A and B are shown apart, each in its own frame.
Chain A
């Protein structure tokens, strides 16, 4: 058997679909320059290609055709040499297309393999999100904001070639930087991209992550039913209706919280979350009515609290809320838990509102928001920003 290489790219469905595909294609075409055969493919399903839902693209490369076939015999590799994460908020884990619970982004990385994350955060901050594991691996960061675009548009901000260069540095046996540059010259025909790739190659380095280092949180896992255990007729039993819940200060019951599916959390779809100002909320019901996932709880005091286990981060509530900054979408990477904002507000009003103001201020500064572009011309404005980050490193 010859040499076999597997790379997976974890990305935000739709918004990073073209980017992920361009990276996995780039790996195969660059390795082809060295005479290595390869295949690039995606794992599609219903949810992965809905907005923001974690999805994967793969590149399998081998030293010869027979070894490549061996690599493809298991379509979705269990173990990869390099995992690339194209949005650092995915480091909280992703929910797979087969609904087997939540998975860690480093789960498939071989012992000693490399996890590459595009992020403006440092390794220490990312390791608060990335789950700990028993085997050591390397973590490398390609500095940059998550490169999001839409179904029909591609933001050509050089993230593709910068990640390719990082892969070449992490795994030179797979492909050399020279072959990456040959691929860029031949297929992308963009001299500036060669410069971006070279700069990224020079700057990319990794840190060793020791066993047990990382987020200690236990990931949601469950076993799928056997065929005889399932009921007939493709019918799924509904959840109980739900009901009022307790105010943490007055201990009075009130409001309404629906019972939600414990095995389908949905929050790994989120790259930004709504933060709510319960003081300015007029109880108009619009967020609650318009949330496509029914993720708002009616709080005992009549305001609406985004349930952060159920929220997908689509931003419709922010768009529909008539009060300025009553609901604001804030980058998910800033948060460590999914606790109720309303409960915090009830227990510590001043503390919550002070935090809320910083969160809103950070959201206003953020050039990148969740769910693709927000206004016409946004990408045009963003590309120079992204290139600036690429130049500075």
Chain B
């Protein structure tokens, strides 16, 4: 009896969570469903699941638009730039959260404020610079640029989390 009462008292929580989950996934559902419809069916029946599932869209994407190459490029660049950003921002985040040094506040807030620099403004000088040192059209060059665009946010996140770790374990044997 107590068990049932306990279950019932949690029903409102479930209702709230189910409604918010539906709101969260509906657009995603719409994307997936639309991907498997042909154009004709997309106009006739927009939100329901397709009557005839078709893979034509996806096949066209890979055969005619060279999506395989793009996917591969994305994977390489993502892996390289995450690796770079992770190593560099872990080092910096550790220093900003656990160490004392001059100009810490200034450097930290300057670094974080860089998230506010519109990428478009930075791009043109970086492009010119990259062409001067032969870094155009290379995975390494673009990974460094992406990693740097991620850096301010990564440093911010890691510093906040490192700060919540207590000091004591570090001073142990």
Asked if A and B are interacting partners, one says no
Binding site for B on A (CB under 8 A): none
Binding site for A on B (CB under 8 A): none
